[in-house]
């Protein structure tokens, strides 16, 4: 428990530090091109988060005895992230839909080419399926978080992330204290309906608190759009609920691979995917609720 609290506090501090850095460097000029806003977050996501997620994801979807395709999974995830960013105004409207359809097609073809190179007759369906899964469940939602940063501000992004993770925190402590009724015992024995309710309540409280802060003079000076507390509460509840589903989907991968955690990167918490699972699934919803 102590280790989880320390690591959790460090992660929150890292999130605040990343948001502050992104606010200080909103764009980047290279060779006559301008990248941003959110260029710092985009670089960290593509060069740090997705490679680590690809390593953990590959370990979960690759059967023992088969070669892991971590590089291919990273390409698929990065491709999904870039696809969201490129089709959201970066490409001419007539090209946006064809690009969106071509990207998963190209990922599946690349998996097939690598299968041919390996000279194995079996495993193509599994390999291409895992590539498309990484593309859709990790790359695309991560792109929506970056899109949210582009269309809002780093502090709104950080508040949305805190709303999702507060549901995880509230569910954990409430479940430990009073959890009795199992939510999904065959998949995630530790999750209870009492914990789920506690997570939703804490997420709503964080949403209200973030809304009140957004209406302050300091927030206004930093360009943060004010959010009504009631709207902040129900947005936080929806984000917390969809985040729980993301946690369960990751559990499907882990149980199928016979793993308790996706990795060992974060002491007391497991791997990076164990922390990102709820966030990833909430990404598209966060954009629809906060940027549209």
Dist CA 81 CA 97 (whole Å) = 15
Tell me: do 202 and 103 sit in the same domain: no
Pairing of the two strands 182-184 and 188-192: antiparallel
Shared domain for 288 and 182, answered yes or no, is yes
**pTM of the complete model:** 0.87
* CA separation, residue 20 to residues 14, 178, 261 (Å): 10, 37, 30
> Are 191 and 166 contained in the same domain?
yes
Model confidence over 40-89: pLDDT tens digits?
888 889 899 999 999 999 999 988 777 788 888 998 898 888 888 877 66
| Residue that is last in its domain, among 151, 185, 220 | 151
What is the rounded CA–CA span in Å between residue 7 and residue 11?
6
pLDDT tens-digit map of 197-211? 999 999 999 999 999
pLDDT value, residue 59: 92
Among 151, 179, 213, which residue terminates a domain? 151
Any idea what DSSP says for residue 266?
Answer: B
Provide the pLDDT for residue 31.
56
CB contact at 8 A, 240 and 201: no
Taking CA atoms, 283 is separated from 56, 118, 148, in Å, by 20, 35, 8
269-286 burial string, b = 16+ CB within 10 Å, else e? bbbbbbbbbbbbbbbbbb
Q: Are residues 133 and 168 in the same domain?
A: no
Q: Identify how many contiguous H helices and E strands the chain contains and give both numbers.
A: 12, 4
What's the pLDDT at 262? Answer: 93
Indicate whether 101 and 233 sit together in one domain: no
174 and 113, same domain (yes or no): no
Residues 264 and 223 in one domain: yes
Is pLDDT at 289 greater than 90 in this prediction? yes
Say yes or no: 11 and 73 in one domain.
Answer: no
Q: How high is the pLDDT of residue 150?
A: 84
Note whether residue 13 is domain-resident: yes
State mean pLDDT over 257-281: 91
Kindly state whether residue 214 falls inside one of the protein's structural domains. Answer: yes
Distances (CA, A) of 36 to 3, 64, 130, 150: 36, 41, 31, 7
Strand partners, 221: none
Tell me the average pLDDT across 185-189.
89
Using the 3D structure, point to which of 151, 166, 193 is the last residue of a domain: 151
Q: Which domain holds residue 73?
A: 36-151
Q: Within this chain, do residues 161 and 144 fall inside the same structural domain, yes or no?
A: no
The sign of the dihedral angle between the CA atoms of 155, 21, 27, 282 is negative
| 188 is a domain residue | yes
Share the mean pLDDT of the chain. Answer: 86
Q: Do the domain assignments include residue 59?
A: yes
Q: What is the DSSP string of 173-205?
A: HHHHHH--SEEETTTEEEEEHHHHHHHHHHHHH
- Report yes or no on 115 lying in a domain: yes
Q: What pLDDT, in 10s, does the model give residues 21-33? A: 887 776 666 555 5
57 with 133, same domain?
yes
In whole angstroms, what separates CA 156 from the centre of its chain? 16
**Same domain for 91 and 102:** yes
In the prediction, which pLDDT does 30 show?
A: 58
Q: Is residue 136 part of a domain?
A: yes
- Band the pLDDT of 240: cuts 50, 70, 90: very high
What's the confidence (pLDDT) of residue 94?
72
Closest CA to 52 of 286, 274, 281: 274
Instruction: Return d(Cα 133, Cα 44) in angstroms, integer.
Output: 22
Q: Per-residue pLDDT averaged across 138-161, rounded? A: 90
User: So what's the pLDDT on residue 194?
Assistant: 96
**Residue 273 forms part of a structural domain:** yes
> What is the torsional sign of CA 144, 99, 89, 19?
positive
Regarding whether 268 and 236 lie in a shared domain, the answer is: yes
**Residue 291 in this model has a pLDDT that exceeds 90:** no
**Considering its fold, how many domains does the chain have in total?**
2
Residue 30 lies in a domain: no
């Amino acid at each position: 428990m102590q280790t989880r609290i320390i690591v959790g506090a460090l992660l929150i501090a890292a999130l605040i530090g990343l948001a502050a850095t992104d606010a200080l460097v909103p764009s980047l000029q290279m060779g006559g091109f301008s990248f941003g806003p959110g260029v710092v977050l985009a670089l960290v996501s593509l060069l740090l988060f997705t490679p680590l997620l690809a390593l953990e994801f590959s370990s979960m979807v690759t059967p023992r005895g088969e070669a892991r395709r971590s590089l291919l999974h990273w390409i698929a995830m990065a491709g999904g992230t870039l696809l969201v960013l490129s089709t959201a105004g970066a490409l001419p409207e007539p090209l946006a839909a064809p690009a969106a359809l071509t990207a998963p097609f190209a990922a599946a073809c690349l998996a097939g080419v690598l299968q041919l190179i390996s000279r194995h007759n079996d495993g193509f369906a599994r390999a291409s399926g895992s590539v498309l899964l990484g593309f859709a469940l990790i790359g695309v939602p991560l792109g929506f978080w970056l899109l949210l940063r582009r269309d809002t501000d780093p502090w709104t992004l950080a508040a949305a992330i805190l709303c999702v993770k507060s549901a995880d925190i509230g569910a954990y402590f409430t479940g430990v204290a009073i959890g009795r009724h199992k939510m999904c015992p065959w998949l995630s024995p530790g999750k209870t309906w009492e914990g789920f309710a506690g997570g939703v309540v804490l997420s709503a409280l964080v949403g209200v608190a973030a809304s009140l802060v957004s209406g302050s003079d300091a927030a206004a000076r930093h360009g943060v759009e004010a959010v009504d507390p009631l709207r902040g509460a129900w947005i936080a509840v929806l984000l917390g609920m969809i985040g729980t589903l993301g946690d369960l989907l990751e559990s499907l991968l882990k149980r199928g691979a016979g793993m308790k955690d996706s990795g060992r990167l974060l002491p007391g918490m497991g791997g990076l995917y164990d922390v990102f699972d709820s966030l990833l699934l909430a990404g598209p919803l966060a954009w629809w609720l906060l940027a549209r």
